[in-house]
Amino acid sequence: MAVDRLQTMTVFLAVAEEAGFAPAARRLHMSPPSVTRAVTELEARLGARLLHRTTRSVKLTEAGHSYLADCRRILSEIEEADRHAAGVHAIPSGRVTVTASVMFGRMVLVPVLLDLLDRYPDLSVATLFVDRVAHLIEEGIDVAVRIAELPDSSMTAVRVGSVRRVLCASPDYLAARGRPRVPSDLSGHEIVDFVNMTPGGEWAFEKDGQTRTFKPRSRLLLNNADAAIAAALAGHGITRLLSYMVAPHLEAGTLEIVLEDHEPPAVPVHVLHKEPGQTSARVRAVVDHLVQSLRRDPALAPRADAR
């Protein structure tokens, strides 16, 4: 009975992750009718509908979302127990899923993860780079890199650095329009508003312990950092971004920081993982590598961090 339950959990997990019975069958090397029958029997045993089925899609019900999280946890623990019993617990192997924001993942994490794979040939990595807070347990994620102040939680978090919230513009724009000296000067400038950096519709500034705010009024509101950078490079105004996003352009001199002495405190960067107590070798290897690599990255140790 226990084997049957683990098998049906595995089948349900595949259907949920592949969003269909046929692709799940291919993944498991089973026939589609066998997969359908396994899920139907599982729902009958649980007395709950786990999947909404239509001719075009398969979607999780509310009960299905909850059961999926439990399946991922249980199957992961069983896999780790098997590895431990086989005597390979100290050897990093298997898959680890890592999440971060899209731009941070592309610019910072990918080179670090490639180096990780070179170091551990039995390890594989799957990424979820999204501009939202991914739920580690519900989405089956092992490790996260978060750029934010963290609320209290059951997650294990290690701070690896911080990034600044910087205002920048192109040298040509500043030569034509002048350089703002205080936040109120921004009212006379063109603003490229990257809306993800404007919580509550305001920019916060701090100097000498005093906090001031500025409400940008912009004809160009963008929800993508690359687009905001492109607009600033083209001389369309001043924008606010995180320092790592514009580091290559600052180094090349194609963007310049303004109002540096009015920046708010830097934003911490943490590596999180969900495993309490004894951490598996594969997750520990990833966490340790990320912590060591990110702490050496100059983009995460900005000069203003000491303020």
Specify the higher pLDDT residue, 305 or 241: 241
Check whether residue 77 and residue 219 sit in a common domain: no
Could you tell me whether strands 267-273 and 156-163 are parallel, antiparallel, or unpaired per DSSP bridges?
Answer: antiparallel
Angle at 200 between CA 156 and CA 300, to 5 degrees: 40
Could you tell me whether strands 123-129 and 256-258 are parallel, antiparallel, or unpaired per DSSP bridges?
Answer: unpaired
Domain boundary among 85, 114, 146: 85
Number of domains in the chain: 3
* DSSP at 195: G
What tokens appear for 134 in the block? 């991914």
Give the list of residues 6+ apart from residue 208 with CB closer than 8 angstroms, or none. none
| Phi, psi dihedral angles at 214 (to 5 degrees) | -135, 130
Q: What is the CATH number of the domain that holds 112?
A: 3.40.190.10
Q: What is the CATH number of the domain that holds 72?
A: 1.10.10.10
- Whole-prediction pTM value? 0.70
Check whether residue 171 and residue 251 sit in a common domain: yes
Residue 167: the pLDDT is 97
Q: Which domain holds residue 292?
A: 94-154+275-298
**CB contact burial 154-168 (16+ within 10 A = b; e otherwise):** ebbeeebbbbbbbbb
**Which contacts qualify for 220-225: CB closer than 8 Å, 24 or more apart?**
220/191, 220/192, 220/193, 221/193, 221/195, 222/192, 222/193, 222/194, 222/195, 223/194, 223/195, 223/196, 224/194, 225/103, 225/194, 225/196
Residue 268 in any domain: the answer is no
The answer to whether residue 227 scores a pLDDT higher than 80 is: yes
Residue 54 in any domain: the answer is yes
Check whether residue 141 and residue 208 sit in a common domain: no
Residue 225 in any domain: the answer is yes
The answer to whether residue 3 scores a pLDDT higher than 50 is: no
For the stretch 152-193, pLDDT in tens is 666 788 999 999 999 999 999 999 999 999 999 999 999 999
For the stretch 247-302, pLDDT in tens is 999 999 999 999 999 999 999 999 998 755 557 888 889 999 999 999 999 999 86
Given a contact cutoff of 8 angstroms between Cβ atoms, the answer to whether 242 and 257 are in contact is: no
For the stretch 90-139, pLDDT in tens is 678 889 999 999 999 999 999 999 999 999 999 999 999 999 888 887 78
Given a contact cutoff of 8 angstroms between Cβ atoms, the answer to whether 144 and 99 are in contact is: yes
